[in-house]
Amino acid sequence: MGTAPEWLIDLSVTPPPAARLVGGKAANLSRLGRAGFNVAPGFCFTVEAYERFVREAKLDELLRMELQRKPLEAMRWEELWDTALRIRSAFVGCSFPITLSETVEHALNRYAAPAGWAVRSSAPGEDSHAASFAGLHESVLPVHGTAAVLNGIRTVWASLWSDAALLYRRELGLDPGESRMAVLLQPVIDGRPSGVAFGCDPRTGDAGRIIVEAVPGRCADLVDGAVDPDHWTLDKRTGATLSQRSGNRNSEGAAGALLLSPAQLDAIRSALSEVEARFGWIPDVEWTWHQDALLLLQARPVTMPPSDPADQRPWYRSLKPSPARLKRLARRVTEQLIPELAAECDRLAAESLDRYPNTELAHAIRARRAAVDRWKDVYRQDFIPFAHGVRQFGVYYNDLVRPDDPFAFVILLGGENFLARQRDDALCGLARRVAERGALADALDQLLRDPGSIDRESFTQRIGRLPGGPAFLDAFDELCREHFDIAHEGVRLAERPEAILHTILERARMPRARSLATEVADRERYFLDAAGPARREEARALLDLARLSWRLRDDDNILIGRLESQWIRAVEAGAERLRRKERLTGTFAFSAELADRVADALQDPSLAVNVPPTVAPPADPGHRATTARQLVGQPAAPGLAAAAARRIRDSADLLQFQAGEVLVCDAVQPTMTHLVPLAAAIVERRGGMLIHGAIIARELGIPCVNGVDRAMQQIRDGDWVTVDGYLGIVTLGHAEFDLEVGRPARRQDG
Amino acid sequence: MNVPDEPVLGTDTSSSQEPIGEEQDVAGNISRLLGSQPFGVLCTQGWGQPYGAVVAFAYDSGLSALAFCTPTATRKFRLLEESSRVALVIDSRSLHPDDMMKVEAVTVTGNALRLAESEARREWAQRIVQRHGYLRQFLQAPSTALFRIDAFRYFYVSRFQEVTQWVPPRSG
Report pLDDT digits (tens) over A138-148: 889 899 999 99
Share of chain B above pLDDT 70, in %: 85
β-partners of residue A631 are A730
Is the pLDDT at A132 greater than 60? The verdict is no
The three-state (H, E, C) secondary structure of A253-281, written as one string: CCCCCCCCCHHHHHHHHHHHHHHHHHHCC
From chain B, pick out residues whose CB is under 8 angstroms from the CB of A312: 1, 3
Residue A291 has pLDDT above 70, yes or no: yes
Question: Per-residue pLDDT for A710 more than 70?
Answer: yes
Please indicate whether, in this complex, the C-beta atoms of A713 and B18 are within 8 angstroms of each other. no
Which chain A residues contact residue B18 at CB under 8 A?
666, 685
Going along A166-269, which residue ranges are E strands? 182-187, 194-198, 209-215, 230-235, 241-245
Determine the Cα–Cα distance for residues A434 and A429; give it in Å rounded to an integer.
Answer: 9
H or E segment at A569? helix A517-580
Question: Which domains are delineated in chain A?
Answer: 8-187 (3.30.1490.20), 194-304 (3.30.470.20), 329-452+479-559 (no CATH), 630-741 (3.50.30.10)
Q: What's the pLDDT at A127?
A: 56
C-beta atoms of B15 and A686 within 8 A = no
Q: Residue B8: what pLDDT?
A: 38
Closest CA to A549 of A740, A727, A398, A323: A323
> Between chains, do B1 and A73 touch, taking CB under 8 Å as contact?
yes
Residue A577: per-residue pLDDT: 95
Query: What's the CA gap between A655 and A504, in Å, rounded?
Result: 11
- Which residues contact residue A574 at a Cβ distance below 8 angstroms, ignoring those fewer than 6 apart? A358, A361, A362, A365, A598, A599, A601, A602
Which residue on chain B is closest to A554 by alpha carbon?
Answer: B7
What mean pLDDT is predicted for residues A406-414? 90
CA distance B49 to chain A (A): 18
Mutate to test the interface with B, among A317, A549, A596, A630 (most CBs of B within 10 A): A630
Q: What are the chain B neighbours of A73 within 8 Å (beta carbons)?
A: 1-2
- How confident is residue A150, by pLDDT bands cut at 50, 70 and 90? very high
Residue A406 confidence (pLDDT): 94
Q: Which residue in A69, A167, A740 is closest to B109 by CB distance?
A: A740
Radius of gyration of chain B from Cα atoms? Answer: 21
DSSP at A96: P
Amino acid at A297: L
Answer yes or no: is pLDDT of A695 > 80. Answer: yes
Q: Give chain A's radius of gyration (CA, Å).
A: 30
Question: What residues have CB less than 8 Å from A37, skipping those under 6 apart?
Answer: A271, A274, A275, A296
B75–chain A Cβ distance below 8 A for any pair: no
Helices A517-580, A384-401: inter-axial angle, 10-degree rounding: 160
Q: Which of B2, B5, B6, B106 to mutate to test the interface with A (most CBs of A within 10 A)?
A: B6
Q: What is the pLDDT of residue A128?
A: 55
Task: Centre a 10 Å sphere on the Cβ of residue B31 and count the other Cβ atoms it contains.
Answer: 17
CB spacing of B10 vs A487 below 8 angstroms: yes
For residue A677, the distance in angstroms to the closest alpha carbon of chain B comes to 20
Rounded to the nearest integer, the mean pLDDT of chain B is 86
**In this predicted structure, what is the pLDDT of residue B5?**
39
**Cβ-defined contact of A713 to B20 (cutoff 8 Å):** yes
Q: Per-residue pLDDT tens for A437-468?
A: 888 888 888 888 876 556 677 778 888 888 88
pLDDT reported for residue B13: 35
The DSSP bridge pattern shows strands A487-488 and A491-492 to be: antiparallel
Name A120's Cβ contacts closer than 8 Å, sequence gap at least 6.
Answer: A25, A139, A141, A156, A183, A184, A185, A186, A298
Count Cβ atoms within 10 A of the Cβ of residue A160 and give its class: 0-12 exposed, 13-18 middle, 19 or more buried: buried
CB pair distance less than 8 Å for B161 and A630? yes
Rounded to a whole number of angstroms, the distance from the CA of A182 to the nearest CA of chain B is 25
Q: Report residue A310's pLDDT band, with 50, 70 and 90 as the boundaries.
A: confident
**Is there a contact between A592 and B11 if contact means CB atoms under 8 Å apart?**
yes
E strand spans, A537-600: 584-585
Render pLDDT for A485-519 as a digit per residue (tens, 0 to 9). 998 888 888 888 888 999 999 988 887 666 777 88
Do A487 and B8 count as a contact with CB atoms less than 8 A apart?
no
- Is residue A125 within 8 Å of residue A100, measured between CB atoms? no
User: What letter represents residue A363's amino acid?
Assistant: H
- Are A628 and B163 a contacting pair at CB < 8 A? yes
Q: Is A103 helix (H, G, I), strand (E, B) or coil?
A: helix
For the cut 50, the answer to whether the pLDDT of residue A356 exceeds it is yes
Residue B150 has pLDDT above 90, yes or no: yes
Q: How far apart are CA B88 and CA A644, in angstroms?
A: 31
- Residue B167 to residue A739, Cβ atoms within 8 A: yes
Q: State the average pLDDT over residues A673-680.
A: 92
Nearest CA in chain A to B167: A625
Q: Distance (Å, rounded) from C-alpha A504 to C-alpha A432?
A: 9
Greater pLDDT, A133 or B129 = B129
Top mean-pLDDT range of A141-145, A302-306, A341-345, A695-699: A341-345
A288 vs A2, more confident: A288
| Residue A628 confidence (pLDDT) | 92
| B13 vs A: CB within 8 A | yes
Partner residue opposite A669 with nearest CB, options B8, B18, B155: B8
Lowest mean pLDDT among A31-45, A528-542, A580-594, A605-619: A605-619
What's the confidence (pLDDT) of residue A647? Answer: 96
Chain segment B42-97, per-residue pLDDT in tens = 999 999 999 999 999 999 999 999 999 999 999 999 999 999 999 999 999 999 98
Closest CA to A300 of A98, A499, A125, A496: A125
> What is the nearest CA distance from B74 to chain A, expressed in angstroms?
25
B168 vs chain A: nearest CA distance in angstroms?
7
Specify the CATH number of the domain B26-166.
2.30.110.10
Rounded CA-CA distance A340/A736 in Å is 57
Smallest CA–CA distance, residue A77 to chain B, in Å, is 6
Would the pLDDT of B20 be above 50? no
What are the boundaries of each domain within chain B? 26-166
- Report the pLDDT value the prediction gives residue B1, as an integer from 0 to 100: 26
Most confident of A295-304, A552-561, A651-660, B47-56: B47-56
Does B62 contact chain A (CB < 8 Å)?
A: no
Angle of helix A98-108 relative to helix A47-56, nearest 10 degrees, comes to: 150
User: A627 to chain B: which residues are within 8 Å by CB?
Assistant: 164-165
Model pLDDT, residue A552:
87
Lowest model confidence (mean pLDDT) among A128-137, A582-591, A617-626, B112-121: A128-137
Question: Which residues make Cβ contacts (< 8 Å) with residue A727, sequence separation at least 6?
Answer: A635, B161
Option in B11, B161, B165 nearest A487 (CB): B11
Question: CB contact, 8 Å: B165 with chain A?
Answer: yes
DSSP state of A37: -
Per-residue pLDDT tens over the stretch B124-139: 999 999 999 999 999 9
Measured from the Cβ of residue A746, the count of other Cβ atoms closer than 10 Å reads 11
pLDDT of A513 reads 67
Say which residues have a Cβ less than 8 Å from residue A385's Cβ, sequence separation at least 6.
A318, A319, A321, A329
Percent of all residues in chain B with a pLDDT value above 90, rounded to a whole number = 76
Residue type for A725, please?
A: G
Q: Which residue of B has its CA nearest to A691?
A: B7
Predicted local distance difference test score (pLDDT) of residue B124: 97
Are A713 and B169 within 8 A, CB to CB?
no
pLDDT given at position A190: 86
Asked if the Cβ–Cβ distance from B163 to A487 is below 8 Å, we say no
Nearest to B101 among A65, A631, A691 (CB): A65
Lowest mean pLDDT among A88-102, A366-380, A731-745: A731-745
Q: Does pLDDT of A129 surpass 90?
A: no
Distance from A627 to chain B by nearest Cα, in Å? 5
Q: Which of A65, A667, A713 sits opposite B21 (nearest CB)?
A: A713
Summary mean pLDDT of chain A: 88
